[in-house]
Amino acid sequence: MSTTEHSDYIDSDTGKMGMWLFLFTELFLFGGLFIVYAVMRTKYPEDFHQAALELNAFIGATNTVVLLVSSMTVAMSLTAIQKNKPNIAIGLIFITLILAGVFMMNKYFEWGHKFSLHLYPGSDVMKTLPHGEIMFFGLYFMMTGLHALHVIIGGILLTIVMFKLKSGKINQEHYLLQENGALYWHLVDLIWIFLFPLLYLIT
């Protein structure tokens, strides 16, 4: 192994390790919110049950399918570049971005419906609700909003990856950024897999 190849190998391992450490900190962040949710749900079971009835499980399920498919396409794009098929990799990243847009559009309409009912933190309607329902909607907006932010960040990262694929800066030999982008996107998917049943199904 030449000095250059050895240096690239070390940089690749360092980049992967750094990404994994970052992903673990993100899991701790959401893990803390999940614990708070579990504690509050135990304390206010009836209020959480009533508040959860306001959520649309169909939209939640649709977004789950959308993210699962997007996780598949981003993984396939990584396989494509490893097989030196950049055009296919670009196409699959583009499909992933479209699916991310579908997810955000569904979330926009879902949040819009809540705002039309004045079911958002600080609203006059919210102030009249029982404390447990206020806690539910507060956690709902915090967790889904934070997750939506991660979807946006992941979309930006994958857009950068797509342009670097087009320019050839990401190729069969150097695809660490794409690999890290795929890992981040899988994290986005994993978090939603936990959010969906907690918020939409366990009523």
* CA distances from residue 94 to 75, 82, 193 in whole angstroms, order as listed: 13, 17, 23
pLDDT at 2: 43
- pLDDT confidence of residue 20: 82
**Helix (H), strand (E), coil (C) string for the chain:** CCHHHHHHHHHHHHHHHHHHHHHHHHHHHHHHHHHHHHHHHHHCHHHHHHHHCCCCHHHHHHHHHHHHHHHHHHHHHHHHHHCCCHHHHHHHHHHHHHHHHHHHHHHHHHHHHHHHCCCCCCCHHHHHCCHHHHHHHHHHHHHHHHHHHHHHHHHHHHHHHHHHHHHCCCCCCCCHHHHHHHHHHHHHHHHHHHHHHHHHHCC
> Are 65 and 73 in contact, with CB atoms under 8 Å apart?
no
| Token representation of residue 8 | 């690239």
Note the pLDDT of residue 1: 47
- Residue 13: its pLDDT value, please? 64
pLDDT at 5: 42
The CATH number assigned to the domain holding 158 equals 1.20.120.80
Could you tell me the maximum CA-CA distance found in the chain, to the nearest angstrom? 70
In one-letter notation, the amino acid at residue 203 is T
Q: pLDDT means per 10 residues in the chain (203 residues)? A: 43 72 87 94 94 92 97 97 96 98 96 90 89 94 95 96 96 92 95 94 78
Q: What is the pLDDT of residue 12?
A: 60
Q: Considering its fold, how many domains does the chain have in total? A: 1
Question: In angstroms, rounded to a whole number, what is the distance separating the alpha carbons of residues 10 and 31?
Answer: 31
Domain of residue 36, residue span: 3-201
Angle formed at CA 51 by CA 66 and CA 47, multiple of 5 degrees: 140
